[in-house]
Structure 1
Amino acid sequence: MFAQLIALVSAASIVSTVCAHGVISSPPRRLPGPAFEAACGSQIYSIVSSDQYGNQQQEEQNINSETTSACELYLCKGLEYADNTNNVQQFTANQVVPIQIDLRAPHTGVANVSVVATASNSVIAGPLISFDPAYSTSTAIPANQTSFSVTIPNLNGQCATAGECVLQWWWDARSIDQTYMSCVDFTQ
């Protein structure tokens, strides 16, 4: 019995490692909370809360009757500004912002960091940095793909109010149809 329990725990550990992929670890990124659960439903909330490193397609596969039109999975994986008001950063024009990516499982693709206007979910500056290929499975991942800096441009008042803009790290691995994103709320 004990050996079977150890085997199950080991298998669960392997599965959780395989399911985890990548997020911004610094500066503080959007995290799931009650507003996210209200918009996207308890099933999607449970998935993201248990594995914030997962891909957006996993969320899409779990859309159900609890998922509302306010759940914008293509904007910060649906994570809500309302849950993250204490994480808003203040960036000035030409400020160099260091970014750390916590990568748990690579998948070859492309990646970039851009400034996104949340009202329209459109890129208003960037990409500020891009990688192609990104997070390759066939070569060593360069250190500058997990620890790098971006320079914040002058956004001419477009991001003056908290919640209007995010700094978004976006990574797309088309060969396996998986997209990962993390967002940092900021003002300028």
Structure 2
Amino acid sequence: MYTKLIALSAALAAASTTCAHGVISSPPRRQPGTAFETTCGSQIYSQVSSDQYGNQQGEEQNINSQTTAACQLYLCKGLLYADNESNVQHYTAGQSVPIQIDIRAPHTGVANVSIVDTTSNKVIAGPLYSIPDAYSTAHAIPANQTSFSITIPSLGSQCSTAGKCVIQWWWDARSIDQTYMSCVDFTQ
């Protein structure tokens, strides 16, 4: 029995690492919290809390009666500014911002980094960095796909209020129908 439990634990540990995919690891990205749980439901909250590297399509599979109309899975994976007020960064126009991406399971696709207005879920600047052959399974992932810098454009007053704008890393692996994203709240 003990041997079976160890084998089961090892299998579960392996499964948890193979279902993970990618996130921004720096600067601080949006995290799940109580506002996210209230808006998107406890099943989606549990899924994202246990594996922040997952994709939006996986979240969609857990939409249920607890999921409110305000849950926007294709805006920062549904993660909310209300849970991340202490993570807001401040950048100035022309500032170079280093971005680190952590990929745990590659899938060939396209990726980019843009500035998104969270009120409209529209790109207002960018892409600031594009990767046309992103995180390919056909070759080693080049260092410039996981460690690069973006230059913050002049955005006027559009991003002067915390929670209004995010730096969004977006990766679409169309061949397997999976989309990943991370958001960094910032002001200018």
Counterpart CA distance in 2 for 1:43 and 1:4 is 28
- Confirm or deny that 1:183 pairs with 2:180: no
Equivalence for 2:33: 33
Unaligned runs of 5+ in 2: none
What is the deviation of 1:20?
0.4
Q: What RMSD in Å do the two structures reach over aligned CA positions?
A: 0.5
State the identity %: 77
SS at match of 1:6: helix
CA shift, 1:5, in A, is 1.0
Q: What amino acid is the match of 2:128?
A: L
Corresponding residue for 1:114? 114
CA–CA distance in structure 1, aligned partners of residues 187 and 156 of structure 2: 11
Is 1:158 the counterpart of 2:158? The answer is yes
SS in 2 for 1:131: strand
Q: Distance in 1 between the 2:23 and 2:181 partners?
A: 7
Deviations 1:84-121 (A, max 9, x none): 00000001000000000111000000000000000000
What amino acid sits opposite 1:83 in the alignment?
Answer: D
Unmatched 5+ residue regions in structure 1?
none
Listed as ranges, the matches of 1:124-135 within 5 Å are 124-135=124-135
- Kindly provide the amino acid, as one letter, of the partner of residue 74 in structure 1: Y
- In the superposition, the TM-score normalised over structure 2's length comes to 0.99
TM-score, normalised with respect to structure 1: 0.99
CA distance, structure 1, for counterparts of residue 18 and residue 176 of structure 2: 14
Distance 1:2 1:102 in 2: 35
| In structure 2, C-alpha distance between the alignment counterparts of 1:174 and 1:42, rounded to whole Å | 28
Displaced runs of 4 or more, over 4 A: none
Aligned to 1:16: 16
